[in-house]
Amino acid sequence: MLMRRLMRGFTTIEMLIGIVVLAVLLGLGAPSFMVWLQNAQIRNAADAVLNGLQLARTEAIRRNKPVQFALTTQSGWQVTIVNPSVNDPPNPIQKRSRQEGSLKVDVAATPGGAYAVTFDAMGGPTPNADASLTITSLDFTSSVATSAPRPLRIVVSVSGTIRLCDPSLAAGDSRGCS
């Protein structure tokens, strides 16, 4: 009686076919993965700035004195007390650098040249102490050229409410900016 030996493993051709199929799938998925990464970075930068703006407004109301939110470099920011007293903690209250997760995001303030917004004791925007322009909105876009990253916008209203929205959505959509 002849006994057949059981073959275990894969042949070279099976391995090559598997590698080709994997390469094709990765090639098809890579562009959408890049867009997803850019959208995540834009969202992270916008969320971080939104948190900074909300912190500045909350601290102004809590301390009953003006508190300023200022952009430092792109999506980096700091929150400081305007004209602090001896009893106040050291300035800045809090800050965030651009290196904390949003290096490939561009931030544009409206009006052009504005870099800060100061909140008064009632939580509304007030003129900045240095007479600079006050931020009314911030646009977040990708600095990397990919097919279709999704921009975001933060709007600071006249009453002091702060809202994150998508400028590319239609006027009737609640997630839109209009």
Instruction: Please give the helix or strand (H or E) that residue 37 lies within, else none.
Output: helix 12-63
In a domain, 129, yes or no: yes
pLDDT of 70 = 93
- For residue 132, tell me if it sits in a domain: yes
Number of domains in the chain: 1
Residue 96 lies in a domain: yes
Average predicted confidence (pLDDT) for the chain: 86
- Residue 81: is its pLDDT beyond 80? yes
pLDDT band at 173 (very low <50, low <70, confident <90, very high): confident
- 171 burial via Cβ count (<10 Å: 0-12, 13-18, 19+): exposed
Which residues neighbour 112 within 8 Å (Cβ) at sequence distance 6 or greater?
A: none
Whole-number pLDDT of residue 92: 85
Task: Assign residue 75 the CATH number of its domain.
Answer: 3.55.40.10
Give the model confidence (pLDDT) of 2-47 as tens digits.
Answer: 677 776 777 888 888 999 898 888 787 777 778 888 888 889 889 9
Q: Is there a contact between 116 and 77 (Cβ–Cβ < 8 Å)? A: no
What is the rounded distance in angstroms from the CA atom of residue 158 to the CA atom of residue 66?
A: 16
pTM of model > 0.85: no
Is 175 part of any domain?
no
Query: Does residue 99 register a pLDDT over 80?
Result: no
Task: State how far the Cα of 73 lies from the Cα of 69, in Å rounded to an integer.
Answer: 13
Host domain of residue 146? 12-165
